Amino acid sequence: MRTSIITCAAALLLSTVAYAAEPGVTDTEIKVGDVNIMTGPAAFVGKGFALGSKIAAAEINAAGGINGRKLTVITEDDGYIPARSFQALTKLIEVDGIFALNGTSGTANVLAMMPLITEHNLPTVVTEAPAKLVYTPVRPSVFTFGANYEDAFYAQLKYIHDNMEGKDAVYGILRQDDDFGKDVEAGFNRAVKEFGGKAAVRVAFKKGTTNFSAEMAQMKQAGVTVLANGGIFAGAANILAEARKLDMKIQSAGVWSEGIPASAALSAPAGYDFMVADYVSLVGPANDKFKVLAKKFVTDDELSNISRYTYVAYIGLKTLAEGMRQCGKELTRTCTIEKLRGLKNFETGGLSAPISFDNPLQLSGTAVGVYQFDTKANAFKALSEFKQY
């Protein structure tokens, strides 16, 4: 009897110790971290994202949580500064003891966090910055959701070539002089080469540039009719404003950050029906359904902040939760990573193409849809379904 009690006690103690070693998980709660841009000029990215996490967590918790455990999302601000992203993730790991990570800010930010992510074997779904640098080389615990800028620009230029401008189009590109800009130019190069088009002007500019008068005058001089607009937020709007000043007749392909209401409002006054390509849906029944769901969990004020970043956060957390759910009660990081690696055709309710991480790059959601902003209706319309490019 005595031996049995001791054996049972030892087994219980061992199991407790083994389980307690898994950070961020208790009998009632699972903590997920989110490092995001909550302050500064790009704060609306982080705010939109945090909203998506909030809605996903609330929906999961309302349905009983993950195998009975409540999901808690802890957000830390990095102000879009990579050194702060590193510090924020250190805090989330060491102080809050998170189990997994959903929000990862921009490309340089997620790369700055990468040593910590790999060191702690932290299950991570990257949805905001699906750059090639994030998934090559493959890190075992990192799963990437989203297309790259190369495909996004190629998709738009192909649509313009097939449906609008044809063979005589003259192409021009304005892009940032960094990794993001290089991806944009890769899509541009691919399109121009394939269509046999004339690439008249290629200009690289420094991040934060606001005056594009000289660059756009160069475009006008060269007779550019199709513009790959690699500016973001105010930069993209300023490029279109300059084009309008010069009375240029152009079709403009843009970055998916221009698909959010705040960016569209900045670009709209120029009067161009500009395009964006995105790996999440911007308009349609799936978005309407999402907004109905969101109303249950967030305030009216927050509803106005819904953007593509809300959708990517929602999809990211739902995907992460699915990996955790498949592990059952014995939730570990290793198990979650294994289950995510085996994830196939996980439905996102039409907000994106189904998610499958069962590929060597652990990459999904690479299909993009093309959208156009209708300045008269002040809304986006879908031009094509999600498609691999």
Partner 1 sequence: MRTGHFKENPGQLVALSDSRVVWTWFAGMLCVMVLAPFLIGNYGLTLVVSSLIAIIGAVALNMLTGQTGLISLGQAGFLAVGAYSNALLLTDYHWPVWLTLPASGLIAALISLLVGIPSLRLKGLYLAITTLAFSFIISHVILYAEGVTHGPNGVFVKGATIFGYDVQKGVPLYYLVLGLTVATILAALNISRTRIGRAWMAIRDHDIAARVMGIDLVRYKLLAFAISSFFVGIAGALMSLQLRFVNVDVFALILSIEALAIIILGGLGSIAGAVLGAIFLSFLPETLRLFFSMFADEKSALFTDYVYEIRGAAYGVVIVLFLRFKPEGLIGVWKDARKYWSNWPLAY
- C-alpha span between 297 and 300 (Å, rounded): 10
Among 70, 91, 198, 244, the residue binding partner 1 under the rule CB under 8 A is: 91
Stretch that binds partner 1, among 22-30, 112-120, 232-240, 262-270 (CB under 8 A): 112-120
> Does residue 247 belong to the site contacting partner 1 (CB under 8 A)?
no
Is 87 near partner 1 (CB under 8 A)?
Answer: yes
Q: What is the DSSP letter of 356?
A: -
Using the minimum distance from each CB to partner 1, give the nearer residue, 91 or 244. Answer: 91
**304 contributes a contact to partner 1 by CB under 8 A:** no
Q: Which residues, in sequence order, are bridge partners of residue 254? A: 276
Distance of CA 357 to the CA centre of its chain: 16
Residue (234 or 367) nearer to partner 1, CB: 234
82 is an interface residue for partner 1 by CB under 8 A? yes
CB closer to partner 1 out of 110 and 327: 110
Which listed range, 5-13, 107-115, 228-236, 283-291, lies at the site for partner 1 (CB under 8 A)?
Answer: 107-115
Among 23, 26, 29, 43, binds partner 1 (CB under 8 A): 43
x/- binding map, residues 198-227, to partner 1, per CB under 8 A? --------x---------------------
Q: 52 and 309 in contact (C-beta within 8 Å)?
A: yes
In the chain, the amino acid numbered 175 is R
* CB-based contact 98:22 (threshold 8 Å): no
Q: Where are the alpha helices (DSSP H) in 196-284?
A: 213-222, 234-245, 261-267
E strand spans, the chain: 29-36, 70-77, 100-104, 124-126, 142-145, 170-176, 198-205, 226-229, 251-254, 275-278, 363-364, 369-374, 379-382
- Cβ closer to partner 1: 309 or 371? 309
- Give the count of residues interacting with partner 1 (CB under 8 A): 34
Q: Which of 182, 202, 325, 341 binds partner 1 (CB under 8 A)?
A: 182
User: Are the C-beta atoms of residues 308 and 48 closer than 8 Å to each other?
Assistant: yes
The length of the chain in residues reads: 389
DSSP letter (8 states) at residue 270 = G
Which residues make Cβ contacts (< 8 Å) with residue 347, sequence separation at least 6?
A: 354
Please identify which residue in 55, 73, 108, 280 interacts with partner 1, judged by CB under 8 A: 108
Query: Which residue, 234 or 335, has its beta carbon nearer to partner 1?
Result: 234
Residue 346 backbone dihedrals phi, psi, to 5 degrees? -75, 120
Q: Is 90 in the site for partner 1 (CB under 8 A)?
A: yes
What are 313's two structure tokens? 């956060």
Choose the binding region for partner 1 from 63-71, 86-94, 314-322, 338-346 (rule: CB under 8 A).
86-94
Taking a C-beta distance cutoff of 8 angstroms, is the pair 51, 290 a contact?
no
List the interface residues with partner 1, window 260-299 (CB under 8 A): 299
Contact assessment for residue 239 and residue 212, using Cβ atoms and an 8 Å cutoff: yes
Stretch in the footprint of partner 1 (CB under 8 A) among 105-113, 268-276, 282-290, 320-328: 105-113
Please give the residue ranges that form the binding site for partner 1 (CB under 8 A): 38-39, 43, 46, 77, 81-83, 86-87, 90-91, 93-95, 106, 108-109, 111-112, 114-115, 119, 133, 177-182, 206, 299, 301-302
